Amino acid sequence: MALSRAAVPCTSPIRRLRPLGLAALLLLGGCGGTGPLNGLRRLPDAPRVSEAPAPSLLPGSDNVIVKAVEKAGPAVVRIDTVKRLINPMGGLFGRGPAIQQQQGQGSGFIVDADGVILTNAHVVEGASEVGVTLPDGRSFTGKVLGADPLTDVAVVKVVGSRLPVATLGDSSRVRPGEWAIAIGNPLGLDNTVTAGIISAIQRTNAVGEGQRVPYIQTDAAVNPGNSGGPLINERGQVIGINTAIRQAPGAGLSFAIPINTARQIADQILERGYASHPYIGVRLQALTPQLAREINASTDECRVPEVNGVVVVDVMSNSPAARAGLRPCDLIEKVGDAAVKNPSEVQLAVDRGQVNQPLAVVIRRGDGRQTLTVRPAELPKEQ
């Protein structure tokens, strides 16, 4: 479900404001943002977390959820947006004004006392005006410093000082079964708290194949208006940004962008005004034994083994993959240090690489295996 305005279906029954900008399984997409901004600091590193067991919620004990919300809640903001749209029929036959306004609402959280805020890209997409309201009633005009549609992360700046700040945690330490607390403004109800547990991590198939985010899955109730708000742990540390839900009979599943991913994207936006993504330029398909049999029976161009894996369907001309020697019908088994079993895992492994830096790709071609060296290129901004 869209988490801030009218829903647009992505991959049924998943709903979110806008579908991911992924064409089939092309390792391509798009980036948005403004120019570089000088003088802005990188986001703080995650604090060291002790290995002591998390507090319990046994009767008579202090309520850790209350304490976590008291710690993070003051930094959670409401984001109100106005988008001005041109009405092509405006002024003709009384069909409304030439310029129409569309209002939206979402959530965000302050990560720097000078007014740096993280939210979802889809919350502020196309906004002409951005208003930010703190729980204490203070209101500011916000400016979108940059947004990355591929990961759905955006950075907003307000002019302020000594603002309450949310502590960022370490999403690599998150484990299923831990407490998950969502804070936001669902359905226009400010500062709403819901709680559940971490249901799963590294969800690479949450919103379709080829995605660039290994989502955190929770059963904490999330509704429209929660978009961009924090998912926190029992220590009050932000571990994710709530971004999408999947509805199911009698329940719903929520998905959050891991804060480590969001921090990386936000740091790039703060440094240069946009997020950088490597790409290699292939179209991939999840291979199954049945599909392999169909391919082998329908064409003499290549033969693929009857296994589960990832097969190259197409290689873009003059792309990093083409220059490295990848071909259609190659099976990709490993990217860098990571064994890969589906197209999403390939995408995530490529994203962990660096532009213009060598990346080893192990392929299976015919009866043999080869290791090719690919140098990912910068994903074109216009894509």
State the pLDDT at residue 32: 37
Q: Which long-range contacts (CB under 8 A, 24 or more apart) does 307-312 make?
A: 307/331, 308/341, 309/333, 309/341, 309/364, 310/284, 310/285, 310/286, 310/340, 310/341, 310/342, 310/343, 310/345, 310/346, 311/284, 311/285, 311/286, 311/287, 312/282, 312/283, 312/284, 312/363
pTM: 0.78
In angstroms, the CA 119 to CA 3 distance is 12
Where along the chain do the CATH 2.30.42.10 domains lie?
A: 278-378
Is 277 marked active-site?
Answer: no
State the pLDDT at residue 251: 63
CATH 2.30.42.10 fits 278-378, yes or no: yes
Is 152 marked active-site?
Answer: yes
Fold of 1-45+68-87+94-276: Thrombin, subunit H (2.40.10)
Name the nearest CA neighbour of 228 among 157, 158, 154: 154
State the pLDDT at residue 37: 44
Q: How many helices (H) and strands (E) does the chain have?
A: 6, 23
Is 170 marked active-site?
Answer: no
State the pLDDT at residue 14: 42
User: Per-residue pLDDT for the chain (383 aa), expressed as one digit of tens each?
Assistant: 333 333 333 333 444 533 333 333 344 333 333 344 444 566 766 655 544 455 555 444 468 999 999 999 999 999 999 987 776 656 555 566 666 678 889 999 999 999 999 999 999 999 999 999 999 999 999 999 999 999 999 999 999 999 999 999 999 999 999 999 999 998 878 889 999 999 999 988 776 555 689 999 999 988 888 999 999 999 999 999 999 887 766 567 899 999 999 999 999 999 999 998 999 999 999 999 999 999 889 888 888 899 999 999 999 999 999 999 999 999 999 999 999 998 988 998 998 888 999 999 999 998 899 999 999 999 887 54
SS3 211: coil
| C-beta separation of 312 from 273 below 8 A | no
DSSP 45: P
Pairing of strands 230-232, 309-315: unpaired
Q: Which two tokens stand for residue 34?
A: 């403004």
Which of the residues 107, 171, 227, 344 is marked catalytic? 227
Where along the chain do the CATH 2.40.10.120 domains lie?
A: 1-45+68-87+94-276
Q: CA dist 377 to 25, 147, 372, Å?
A: 17, 20, 16
In angstroms, the CA 45 to CA 260 distance is 9
State the pLDDT at residue 94: 56
Classify the phi-psi angles of 83: left when phi > 0, otherwise alpha if psi is within -120 to 50, otherwise beta. Answer: beta
Which of the residues 80, 112, 122, 330 is marked catalytic? 122
